[in-house]
């Protein structure tokens, strides 16, 4: 069943009076439950594409659909609600709140979504235990290793049980061994919970584990593999 579709999406930025096309006439669709890796060199448009898919940045031309609904034709409050409920985001730099514990960081999206606190706490504890942080959940980010912090970020993204997880270079600042551990955790959680996963990465070996690969170059999809 189709969950995301991009139709002729182009994204243009203006820089010092010059127009720069970050994406050029991109079209594809993804099915629910699939794992997709987006590959490409720096500056190829990978992060721009992910921001369009996640409702964070509208295309200059073209459309993006989520479950048949045109994202950027939704009222602002509906789009905001959709981002909180349907999407979970993981970034290269974990962006955890330094004053909160690991548990509190994971709970936070649930509280923003106005879920019951005890329900949020129960799910957060379950997720943290699943990624091996059961003994570290009351530690603050500064007391955790880089790999542990990114595991917390993975749990935070899954807090609201989103249908789609979007990860932008989630292990780009980690060593290979730690990165592979994060990939294992991410794949395991998404497959166990039936989530759709989209990962932007430079790390080509990761693509071997995906259902689909999109390769970008100069803002265009130059290769698709399913």
Provide the CATH number for the domain around residue 167. 3.40.50.300
Torsion of CA 208, 214, 216, 219, to 10 degrees: -160
Q: Rounded CA gap, 168 and 51, in Å? A: 9
Greater pLDDT, 171 or 136: 136
Q: Rounded CA gap, 153 and 159, in Å? A: 10
Average confidence score pLDDT of the chain: 87
Give the pLDDT score at 190.
80
Give the pLDDT score at 36.
92
Give the pLDDT score at 175.
74
Residue 203 has pLDDT above 90, yes or no: no
Residue 204 has pLDDT above 80, yes or no: no
Give the pLDDT score at 121.
94
Give the pLDDT score at 225.
65
Residue 78 has pLDDT above 80, yes or no: yes
Give the pLDDT score at 226.
60
Residue 206 has pLDDT above 80, yes or no: no
CA 194 to chain centre: 15
Q: 13 lies in which domain range?
A: 2-225
Q: pLDDT of 103-150, one tens digit each?
A: 999 999 888 878 899 999 999 999 999 888 899 999 999 999 888 888
Q: pLDDT of 180-200, one tens digit each?
A: 877 887 788 788 878 899 998
Please count the structural domains in the chain: 1
CB 132 within 8 A of CB 138: no
Q: Rounded CA gap, 167 and 63, in Å? A: 21
* Region 37-52 average pLDDT: 88
Residue 186 tokens, joined: 């991410």
How many CA atoms are closer than 13 Å to the CA of 110, on its beta-carbon side? 22
Residue 19 has pLDDT above 80, yes or no: yes
Residue 42 has pLDDT above 90, yes or no: no
Residue 63 has pLDDT above 90, yes or no: yes
């Amino acid at each position: 069943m189709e969950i995301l579709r991009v139709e002729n999406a182009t994204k243009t930025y203006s820089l010092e009076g010059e127009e720069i096309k970050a994406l050029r006439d991109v079209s594809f669709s993804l099915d629910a439950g699939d794992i997709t890796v987006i590959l490409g060199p720096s500056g190829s448009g990978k992060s721009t594409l992910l921001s369009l898919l996640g409702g964070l940045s509208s295309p200059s031309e073209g459309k993006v659909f989520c479950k048949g609904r045109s994202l950027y034709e939704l009222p602002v409050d509906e789009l905001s609600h959709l981002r909180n409920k349907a999407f979970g985001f993981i970034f290269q730099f974990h962006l955890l709140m330094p004053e909160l514990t690991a548990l509190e960081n994971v709970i936070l999206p649930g509280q923003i979504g106005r879920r019951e606190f005890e329900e949020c706490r129960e799910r957060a504890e379950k997720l943290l235990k699943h990624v091996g942080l059961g003994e570290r959940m009351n530690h603050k980010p500064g007391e955790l290793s880089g790999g542990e912090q990114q595991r917390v970020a993975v749990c935070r993204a899954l807090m609201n049980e989103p249908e789609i997880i979007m990860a932008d270079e989630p292990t780009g600042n980690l060593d290979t061994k730690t990165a592979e551990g994060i990939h294992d955790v991410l794949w395991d959680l998404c497959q166990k919970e039936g989530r759709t996963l989209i990962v932007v990465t430079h790390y080509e070996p990761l693509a071997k584990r995906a259902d689909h690969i999109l390769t970008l170059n100069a803002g265009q999809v130059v290769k698709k593999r399913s």
